[in-house]
Structure 1
């Protein structure tokens, strides 16, 4: 009987590492009125099936004056998406509409507010190079960090 249980345990190992047993992960990040995020790097374990990003604006200024969002792109698209977002409106979250380069993004929020986005990690590669940033006009170049899918 112990031998049979050992054999069954060995056979079950591949099932435990399948996507059906992947976990959902979450990270919280804060944005300030000084155009900063409190994190420069977000590390996401490869066994996460989806990632929930909670953005908290810990400043006091309203969204129209110092709004922030969280946008994720491949690093090679960061600049172009940031510039394109600057031509959009607050209602568009300063993100180009239907842009395939945008992996995920939150709405723009003001001081004291919070928002979130949940997205599947199937859009990420382990060797990928990703930048998260705020696309509010003028913020994208300095208010940014790196996402590592490991």
Structure 2
């Protein structure tokens, strides 16, 4: 009986340790694009108030060079730009696989866009290179779908400061080909 009580107490203590404290809640899950953790500032929960590790050491650069490869990866997943100024994105598919099985693009979403819903709708838009026309108001800018060795270049601006999601809308790629563009 005494042995069972000791085991029960030890189990209770180990479970309590797993729950964590409010301090543990300061670090949240991956930004899904950088693979790095986002840290809450304790301020309102708007996207612009989230601290992204490494962002403070980045200089704003409105000339973005980005590649995609056959491993379904972007060369970079975090960019800092200046809001309301022209941004130029040069995107190249450096892979070797055919466009119909491993095409890539860059799609910048408007703030507040439901990321998963957008990606789901994009999969249905094969005839439009996976850019869903019914969600065009959710897109700030996008490149065309490029195959191996192809490059596309686009220019645009983001009107407001904040954090914007980007992804490759080719079916199944958004899980790993995604990132954040932070406008200051």
TM over 0.5: yes
Which one has the bigger strand percentage?
A: 1
Which residue does the alignment assign to 2:26?
none
Separation (CA, whole Å) in 2 of partners of 1:75 and 1:136: 21
Three-state SS of the structure 1 residue aligned to 2:125 is: coil
Deviations 1:56-75 (A, max 9, x none): 11111121010000001136
1:141: how far off?
2.0
- Residue from 114, 118, 133 that aligns with 1:97: 133
**2:113·2:138 contact (CA, 8 Å) conserved in 1?**
no
**What pairs up with 1:50-69 in 2 under 5 angstroms?**
50-69=86-105
Which residue does the alignment assign to 1:113?
150
Separation (CA, whole Å) in 1 of partners of 2:94 and 2:179: 18
Between the two proteins, the alignment pairs up a number of residues equal to 122
Does 1 or 2 have the higher relative contact order (CA < 8 Å, sep 6+)? 1
What TM-score do you get using the length of structure 1 for normalisation? 0.75
Which structure has the larger Rg? Answer: 2
Structure 2, unaligned stretches of length 5 or more? 1-60
2:67 aligned with 1:30, yes or no? yes
What TM-score do you get using the length of structure 2 for normalisation? 0.62
Which residue does the alignment assign to 1:72?
108
Deviating runs (4+, > 6 A) in structure 1? none
Structure 1, unaligned stretches of length 5 or more? 1-23
2:175 aligned with 1:141, yes or no? yes
